[in-house]
Structure 1
Amino acid sequence: MTIARPVRALIGLCALLWCFFLYVLFKPSPEFQGPGDRYQNFERDPTLDPTFEPDGKLVHYDEGNYAPDAKKSDRIEATLLALVRNSEVDDMVQSMQDLERVWNNKFNYPWTFFNDVPFTEEFKEKTSAATNAKCIYEVIPDEHWTKPSWIDDATFQSSAKVLEGKGVQYASKMSYHQMCRWNSGLFYKHPALKDTRYYWRVEPNVHFFCDIDYDVFRYMHDNNKTYGFTINLYDDPKTLPTLWPETVKFLADHPEHLNENNAMKWVTDDEHRPQNNHDAQGYSTCHFWSNFEVADMEFWRSKAYGDYFEHLDKAGGFFYERWGDAPVHSIALGLFEDASKIHWFRDIGYQHIPFFNCPNSPKCKGCVTGRLTDGEAWLHRDDCRPVWFKHVGMG
């Protein structure tokens, strides 16, 4: 049977419309695109490009002045810092080997390890063998780690059950709450850090992909930067429903701490906020992913941050909810610091599962330029860097 030409044309048109419908239905929406789809030029910050002498030697630094035993060292008062358990030694060594390979073998900044119990000899032997730099092993004082006296055990247990019912991880794990509180407002008070100004936080089982040939700490110091990040994400609003209301209360009592050039719009952005973020009661939940942070501890030691942490600590949310150090640090930086002093290290290739910061640079090996995650497509919605770039810039 022969199909009439008009009918064939109609069938062809229907097929084309069906294909177009499927394309529209299944194409990645902007919410699901990774940063590589939006930002093709993840290149080195031009201000950080190295310069060379005619003989090929870097002008940036004198290798002799960065030797581990240099009598006249160019290192500033800074350390690589890790909160780590004895059982995580192999993962910690892996992270150290990565960072030593791409950066610290040139600069030999010391490593400072913290634990709530003494480090084992195995931990000390394996970690000290992974670097030529000095290693320092410290125990956290009980008063910095123990649950504070104003936290009620019964309320903690009942709150944990509510959070677990909402799918919040680690809600009943006391050590996780202690860790978040310590990372938020106590680590920089440890006596071992009293003469140290800058730190680079390094966690077990993270990866670094790009050769870094400048002194990151000196860059922070010389350019008057307070905080450096690589990844910027949305948080789970179910973990912090009263964090922003408590912050609003604090601002009402201490308006003097609000910086004139703040990043309030990033902290409260609601245009790009995921649908369930109404649980955060006005906070965008955007935060710097603090498993990587390079920071000046003078900010944490300031009156503004000290007053803020004390207010939050007494409110109890580190235990009755699951306030993390990442949103606490981020809100404080967004409100109390000049936004121009916060720096995106676009040129530092980094991964903490499941997220990446992978620059577009020949200095990087082992990651895909612009990829945010190897995980499920929906994880791309967690990327809050576009909101930071929109309101603050690329720093």
Structure 2
Amino acid sequence: MAIARPVRVLGLAAVMMWCFFLYQVFRPGANIKVPLGIPNNERDPLLDPTGEPEGILHRAGPGYAPDAAHSERINATLLALVRNSELPGMLQAMRDLERTWNHKFNYPWTFFNDEEFSDEFKKKTSEVTNAETRYEVIPREHWEVPSWINMDLFQESVKILEEHDIQYAGMMSYHQMCRWNSGLFYKHPALANTQFYWRVEPKVHFFCDIDYDVFRFMQDHNKTYGFTINLYDAPDSIPSLWPETTKFLSAHPSYLHENSAMNWLVDKARRPDHNYKANGYSTCHFWSNFEIADMSFWRSREYEDYFNHLDRAGGFFYERWGDAPVHSIALGLFEDRNRIHWFRDIGYQHIPFFNCPNSPKCKGCVTGRFTDGEAWLNKEDCRPNWFKFAHMD
């Protein structure tokens, strides 16, 4: 017997509603609340037209030629810690930065490795730039595992980190790299008389033409540190970093700067789970694969004492303390926050995150895009906290 038309219509409607319900439940990301980097009631500053920093800026001229008799370059270098095997990625990063900035200013490149650079590495990197290139080997005492590290405890610690899916937990060279970048690179004899550096890593991208001397900008405007990207760290990689820091502060209360960025470091409103797991630290940090900085800060008594305290605590090996949170905590505590500068006009990418300004000088990136990865990566953006607590300049 045929089914009445009204019944068929109701049945079809029921099937369609059921399909819609299943789609809403099982569609990708349906049950995941993804916090965006910039709150809905705030505008990302990168969407606003972005120009050069205010104030006196030094432009390219004859004094910046590679062989200028009276060079206008100040005491600074482009700096890279890189292996011979990373040559293709290093060449790509160099070409980007030379094209957008350094072909105008010709600052020297200083490359560091824990072994000798190959002739091929030296030849091909020197061909990418008209500037001077320097190739340095890290002293063994700066790279090897310190005598006070218990290797049995290290192996047990690796197991715990791997249980929490901490990347590079068992890679000894990664732990060594983090320690060297945190407190030893500026002690290399090749940098003894160098003040400023711009850190460049293999495979990074630069998108915007920069027409002023960024090192002179840092010097003239009394800036200590420049960053592009501001992230949350993995709290399970640094559970004892903040407790060790508070222990250090208790012993050296005068080291805390009166205009510090403490609130940025201890905020728990936006990512309370991170603050809880990191024992009081928000885990916000400057992503140090890009940093333009004055090494006078790292050479200060405050930072030297802090690094030595952390080094003896062993967290570079027993946990996975990175140079990014270590640098950031030190800057946030011991430096005037107004001396930390967001280079909003420098287009930059280190996979999977971007700093892409709204500027006609930028090509190859999407204005305001924070990541080209999965949507959940947007929650790793800690810039809103910096804007809120540190009063960006």
- TM-score of the superposed pair, with normalisation by structure 1: 0.90
5 Å matches for 1:367-386? 367-386=365-384
Asked whether the equivalents of residues 98 and 208 of structure 1 are also in contact (C-alpha less than 8 Å), the reply is yes
Q: Which residue of structure 2 lines up, in the alignment, with residue 32 of structure 1? A: 36
Decide whether aligned partners of structure 1 residues 280 and 50 sit closer, same or farther in structure 2, where only a CA change above 3 A counts: closer
**Partner of 2:308 in structure 1?**
310
Residue of structure 1 equivalent to 2:350: 352
User: In the alignment, what sits opposite 1:107?
Assistant: 105
The separation in 1 between residues aligned to 2:272 and 2:70, in whole angstroms, is 52
Tell me which residue corresponds to 1:202: 200
Deviation track 1:164-197 (CA, whole Å, cap 9, x = no partner) reads 1111111111110000000000000001001110
Q: 2:143 aligns with which of 135, 142, 145?
A: 145
Residue 69 of structure 1 corresponds to which residue in structure 2? 67
What is the aligned partner in structure 1 of residue 231 from structure 2? 233
Matched positions, count? 379
| Contact 2:229–2:383 (8 Å) recurs in 1 | yes
Q: Do 1:97 and 1:130's aligned partners in 2 also have CA atoms closer than 8 Å?
A: yes
- State which drifts further: 200-209 or 156-165: 156-165
Please give the TM-score of this superposition, normalised by the length of structure 2. Answer: 0.90
1:55-134 map, 5 Å: 60-134=58-132
SS in 2 for 1:386: helix
CA RMSD after TM alignment: 2.7
Contact 2:90 2:201 in 1 (8 A): yes
Q: Deviations over 1:24-73 (max 9, x none)?
A: x969967135689831544566553799xxxxxxx842521000010111
Distance 2:345 2:190 in 1: 30
2:196 and 2:292 in contact (8 A); partners too: yes
Q: CA deviation at 1:139?
A: 0.3
**Who is 2:327 aligned against?**
329
1:99 CA drift (Å): 0.2
2:178 maps to 1:180:
yes
Q: What one-letter code is carried by the residue in structure 1 that aligns with 2:260?
A: N
2: distance between equivalents of 1:75 and 1:43? Answer: 32
Assess, with a 3 A threshold, how the Cα gap between structure 1 residues 154 and 88 changes in structure 2: closer, same or farther: same
Distance in 2 between the 1:383 and 1:358 partners? 14
Q: Retained in 1: the 8 A contact 2:274–2:281?
A: no
Amino acid at match of 2:122: K
Provide closer, same or farther for how the CA distance between residues 331 and 49 of structure 1 changes in structure 2, counting only shifts above 3 A.
closer
State the alpha-carbon separation in 2 of the partners of residues 177 and 387 from structure 1: 28
Distance 1:41 1:121, change over 3 A: closer
Q: Give SS of 1:159's match.
A: helix
Tell me the amino acid that sits aligned with residue 38 of structure 1: R
1:44/1:346 contact within 8 Å kept: no
Contact 2:232 2:283 in 1 (8 A): yes
Instruction: Name the SS of the counterpart of 1:136 in structure 2.
Output: strand
Distance 1:130 1:113 in 2: 14
Deviation of 1:211 (Å): 0.3
Q: Give the Cα–Cα distance (whole angstroms) in 1 for the partners of residues 252 and 375 of structure 2.
A: 41
Q: Say if 1:240 and 1:40 are closer, same or farther in 2 by CA, change over 3 A.
A: closer
Distance 2:343 2:91 in 1: 23
| Displacement of 1:275 | 2.6
Give the Cα separation in 1 of the matches to 2:63 and 2:69.
8
Specify the code of the residue in structure 1 equivalent to 2:90. Answer: M
Structure 2: how far apart are the matches of 1:124 and 1:27?
51
For residues 348 and 314 of structure 2, the distance between their equivalents in structure 1, rounded to whole angstroms, comes to: 33
**Which amino acid counterpart does residue 333 of structure 1 have in structure 2?**
L
- Structure 2 residue 291 is the aligned partner of structure 1 residue 293: yes
Aligned partners of 2:315 and 2:31: how far apart in 1? 41
- Give 1:256 shift: 1.0
Does 1:389 find its partner at 2:393?
A: no
Measured in 1, the distance between the counterparts of 2:354 and 2:39 equals: 10
Is residue 274–residue 283 contact of structure 2 (8 Å, CA) maintained in 1? no
Alpha carbons 1:44, 1:347 under 8 Å: kept: no
**Residue pair 2:242, 2:278 contacting (<8 A) in 1 also:** yes
Query: 2:364 is matched with which residue?
Result: 366
Q: 1:43 to 1:226 in 2, by over 3 A?
A: farther
Structure 2 CA distance for partners of 1:311 and 1:40, relative to 1, 3 Å: closer
| CA deviation vs aligned residue, 1:274-324 (integer Å, no higher than 9, x gap) | 535421000000000000000000000000000000000000000000000
**Structure 1 357/249 Cα, relative in aligned 2: closer, same or farther at 3 Å?**
same
- 2:224·2:294 contact (CA, 8 Å) conserved in 1? yes
Residue 255 of structure 1 aligns with an amino acid whose one-letter code is: P
2:35 partner SS: helix
Gaps of 5+ in 1: 52-58
Q: Tell me how far 1:394 sits from its aligned partner.
A: 2.1
